[in-house]
Amino acid sequence: MTAMLSVAAGIDCTPGGSATMRLAEFCRVATTSVDEAAEQIGRIFCPHRLQPAVRTAQHFCAMHNCAPFDGFSINYVAYGSVVTIDPGYLERFFLIQLPLSGTARIHAGSREVASCPGLAASLLSPTVPTRMLWEDCEQLILLVDRRVLEQRAAALSGKAVQPVVFDPSIDVSKGAGSMLAARMHELAGLAERIGPDRELSAVAAADRREALLELLLIHRSHDLSDAIRRFSGRSEALPRGLQRARDFLHAHAAEPLDLVRLAEIAGIGIRALQCGFRRHFGSSISEMLQDLRLAQLNARLMNAPPEAHIIDIAFDLGFSHLGRMAGAYKAKFGETPSATRRRACGPAMPSRAFTN
């Protein structure tokens, strides 16, 4: 790799050279070579075309620091000049880009987003073609594994795994956008405190991943937002009887379904209960129960210790026919339970919080 150098103008490639630099101990790329920057950063993110503006090309200096967690990573990326970046389709991940200095213009499909510090960030979806113009820009970037997010969207919406497309613009000056920006800074701070040579427990990493997924899927606008609201009963005022029945199903998902008891809890007849589930949740009672069990199975497979067995987790959740369970799981999440287990425990998702 090209030696880390200080440049006369723009970003200082020496760790700590920029007042807004984050994650200095996690440096992956520091170079004044355009080709090397595109190749090295492309390995971490995805292949892309990188082109400095002619008037600022002599000040080019690329810096990429990356702290990977389980299923996501927090990154700092900066260029010492005006650059155009054309990754096309991201394919494997979602990107939330939070400017720390400078500005960026992002074309995501037919949408254009202008981002700047303290006001606006961008959220890029893997199935939407993307082009960007960074103007002396430093960004804190959250990368979220596509499969992790889309599996959680399926669990929340009651639908099979499918592409999720977000509104690419985030107002970070208030509300949920401000919360997301704060969470990204907290993650960077956590990585900086722990350093690249220490471990983060699997439980702590899972807690942070769950909080991020909730912020993105519940509080950001995307093409499954309505389905998630319907499936959770939030799309209109939910009758109290249906709310009690749904809450009972959540709390007792591992138990056999008893329609008589469920109707008594709701305070209505069985037929009214069935019609109410269809209207307010968009699914039958048995379909919701299966989706609840599958969602719990997916979450446990992702977070269970390596010595845990799929069959024990499945039986604990009330699945008595493993063949049908495996078929329903694959139809919903796009892979078998054993594939999820291997992915969660395998070398692609190491138990170490950070690796160099």
**CB burial of residue 72 (10 Å; 0-12, 13-18, 19+):** buried
- How many Cβ atoms from other residues are within 10 Å of residue 55's Cβ? 9
Mean pLDDT (the chain) is 87
What Cα–Cα distance (Å) separates residue 29 from each residue in 136, 184, 259?
17, 21, 59
Q: DSSP secondary-structure letter at 236?
A: S
Q: Return the higher-pLDDT residue of 271 and 344.
A: 271
pLDDT at residue 353 greater than cutoff 50: no
In the chain, the percentage of residues whose pLDDT exceeds 70 is: 90
Q: In this predicted structure, what is the pLDDT of residue 222?
A: 96
Average pLDDT over every residue of 249-276:
91
Tell me if residue 110 falls in helix, strand or coil: coil
Highest mean pLDDT among 119-128, 300-309, 344-353: 119-128
Residue 320: pLDDT band by 50, 70, 90 thresholds? confident
Q: Return the higher-pLDDT residue of 77 and 254.
A: 77
Q: In this predicted structure, what is the pLDDT of residue 236?
A: 61
Q: Which of 134, 38, 24 is nearest to 76 (CA)?
A: 24
Pick the CATH number of 285-348 from 3.40.50.300, 3.40.50.720, 1.10.10.60, 3.40.630.10: 1.10.10.60
Tell me if residue 39 falls in helix, strand or coil: helix
Q: In this predicted structure, what is the pLDDT of residue 7?
A: 36
Domain locations along the chain: 24-226, 236-282, 285-348
- How many Cβ atoms from other residues are within 10 Å of residue 137's Cβ? 25
Lowest mean pLDDT among 63-67, 108-112, 322-326, 344-348: 344-348
C-beta separation of 62 from 26 below 8 A: no
pLDDT at residue 56 greater than cutoff 80: no
Interval 140-176: pLDDT, tens: 999 999 999 999 999 888 888 999 999 999 999 999 9
Distance of CA 348 to the CA centre of its chain: 16
Pairwise CA distance, residues 353 & 69, whole Å:
5
Residue 346: pLDDT band by 50, 70, 90 thresholds? low
Q: In this predicted structure, what is the pLDDT of residue 238?
A: 75
Interval 1-55: pLDDT, tens: 333 333 333 445 544 456 789 999 999 999 999 999 999 999 999 999 999 987 7
Q: Which of 142, 117, 112 is nearest to 216 (CA)?
A: 142
Interval 222-238: pLDDT, tens: 999 998 988 877 656 67
Tell me if residue 29 falls in helix, strand or coil: strand
CATH architecture under which domain 24-226 falls: Sandwich (2.60)
Q: DSSP secondary-structure letter at 103?
A: E
- How many Cβ atoms from other residues are within 10 Å of residue 180's Cβ? 21
Q: Return the higher-pLDDT residue of 289 and 349.
A: 289
pTM over 0.85: no
Q: In this predicted structure, what is the pLDDT of residue 348?
A: 41
Q: What stretches of 167-246 adopt beta strand conformation (E)?
A: 169-171
Interval 266-299: pLDDT, tens: 999 999 999 999 888 888 999 999 988 998 898 8
Residue 261: pLDDT band by 50, 70, 90 thresholds? very high
Pairwise CA distance, residues 349 & 345, whole Å:
6
Pairwise CA distance, residues 239 & 263, whole Å:
13
How does 307-332 read in b/e, with b if 16+ C-beta sit within 10 Å?
A: eeebeebbeebbbeeeeebbebbbeb
Packing angle of the helix pair 285-303, 322-333 (nearest 10 deg): 80
**CB burial of residue 87 (10 Å; 0-12, 13-18, 19+):** buried
